[in-house]
Amino acid sequence: MLAHLLANGFRGNVKLIYIDPPFDSGADYVRKVSLRGAKGTAKIDGENYELGEQIQYTDIWANDNYLQFTYERLQLHNELLAPSGSIVLRCDSTKALHLRCLMDEIFGADKTFKNGIIWFYRRWPTNTPTFQAMHDNLFWYTKCNENSHGFNKLYEPASDRTLSDYGGKRLTTIKTEDGSSVKRETEETSLGVPLRDAWEIRREHPRGNEHTDYPAQKPAELLERLLLALSRPGDLVLDSFIGSGTTAAAAQRLGRRWIGCDINKGAIQTTFKRVQAIILEQIKTAGQGSLTLTDGSRVPNELAGEENPTPAQHAFTVWRVNDYDLAIQHNEAVNLACEHVGVERNRSDGFFDGTLGKALAKIIPFGHPLSPSDLDEVRRELDARPDEDRPARLRAKVTRRKNRLHVEIKDFISPRIIERLEQRAGIVKPKIDDWRAMVDCVMIDTAYNGTVFNVALSDIPERKTDFVNGHCDFPAPADKVVVAIKVIDMLGEEVLVTAEA
């Protein structure tokens, strides 16, 4: 993406870059997965139980891979920056020191580092063994070490005394006709005191007007402050990890040109819909008043550029500039391959990438041809773990009753689900009252040929609280036939059994 921009005329033309890259948080960004059934069906001490999570995108790296990944991209960002441009990187404390060192090396540690900004937010208190994390870091660097980058001073409210001492708004007490006293301004109202380097901004709320359900979405107010301080209307802004599209949305509102990039198709789709809605609203309300921010405050005229700022554009296009199915990092390729094939990822395994049914799966790097030494390495790993395989077990019965065949699932057990429940439950044993709570769906091939499974009948409950039936019947052919029953559990593991009838 970045190389494409460099090759197509954007070198040295970007005024502001904001990046919110993976920062090795050691976590996957996920959606929760629960067992089937109503409250209390799958339970620990009578409580509804969440089985686990499915990954939407991952932020777990080997340390050297992570640093190399970031270093290479920061170099390209430096080439894209205009001589008077700025770059802001957001991270938490996980890799803050490492990222500062990388940015010092690429942009220079002398005068190009301008600020470290603390973004403070409130969280619901949790019982952690350390001080609870409630802030992120923003590192602001410029392309050159002079003060030619352009800085638009922002202001924040302050007490009357602070404003008076600062030389801003001064208030005097004036007696009115009824004998009461009020404070009146004797000078023009000040915008406040200069904004400091600790910002308290509420995190994106799940019920907020712009919530997109995208993991780690950032509040619009955060990006609006950065854009107002470090760019002017018409400037070009770049976010190469666009995610939920907050940077593009803020830039569109503030009359900046923007480019957003992401390797995740879901991110592009989310950003597309979000910005398109803003543009439609801007077209509809053109000329109806001054620009306001998401916190309700009005943009100062000197920063907005005009009383009713005109958007820099009323249209945009989406480009696919690389073949990401091939030219991607190995960890990203593994995610795509596992998703396509149906491999369940296992982050705790240091060698295998996951499981496909009851088989362990290993993804070889795309640019590395499979060799005998690779196979030998897999064989040695398997020899070292003889008790690894613990597949799910399915017990089913197929009977012929006159002119119909009857299929009945007698029992199903998933050791992986039980193990995961036990890990999450601690010393309290999980209780599953009905085996169907572990089953996502059932599919039946009424005439299995031993090679290709053709779905003739399926049992897929519409709601998470519903169970599969666990039995069915259908017309029986004149001759004997092999019936195949496939069960997929809530973690995606498949079990296939056959019976002749």
What span, in angstroms and rounded, lies between the C-alpha atoms of 411 and 438? 11
Taking alpha carbons only, the member of 105, 72, 109, 366 closest to residue 240 is 72
What span, in angstroms and rounded, lies between the C-alpha atoms of 359 and 27? 25
Q: Looking at the DSSP assignment, which residues form a beta bridge with residue 50? A: 34
First-residue to last-residue Cα distance in the chain? 58
What span, in angstroms and rounded, lies between the C-alpha atoms of 190 and 163? 8
Architecture of domain 1-26+61-123+132-149+197-318: 3-Layer(aba) Sandwich (3.40)
3-state secondary structure at position 10? coil
What span, in angstroms and rounded, lies between the C-alpha atoms of 22 and 218? 14
Q: What are the sequence ranges of the domains in the chain?
A: 1-26+61-123+132-149+197-318, 155-194, 330-383, 393-500
- Per-position pLDDT tens, the chain of length 501: 888 898 889 999 999 999 988 755 444 444 345 677 755 444 333 334 455 443 444 444 555 778 888 888 999 999 999 999 999 999 988 889 999 999 999 998 777 899 999 999 888 888 888 898 899 999 999 988 766 677 888 888 777 777 766 665 444 555 575 655 554 444 444 567 788 999 998 887 655 667 766 667 888 899 999 999 999 999 999 999 998 899 999 999 999 999 999 887 778 878 888 888 888 888 887 765 555 566 555 555 444 444 456 788 888 888 877 655 444 566 667 777 887 778 887 765 778 888 887 678 888 876 677 788 888 888 888 777 655 556 788 999 999 988 899 999 999 988 878 777 776 665 556 678 788 988 888 889 999 988 888 888 888 887 778 899 999 999 999 899 999 999 988 877 788 999 998
Taking alpha carbons only, the member of 25, 35, 31 closest to residue 420 is 35
Q: Give the Å distances, CA to CA, from 339 to 171, 332, 355.
A: 64, 11, 12
CATH fold of 393-500, please?
A: Immunoglobulin-like (2.60.40)
Contact in structure between 280 and 251 (CB atoms under 8 Å): no
Instruction: Answer whether 0.85 is exceeded by the pTM.
Output: no
Contact in structure between 294 and 221 (CB atoms under 8 Å): yes
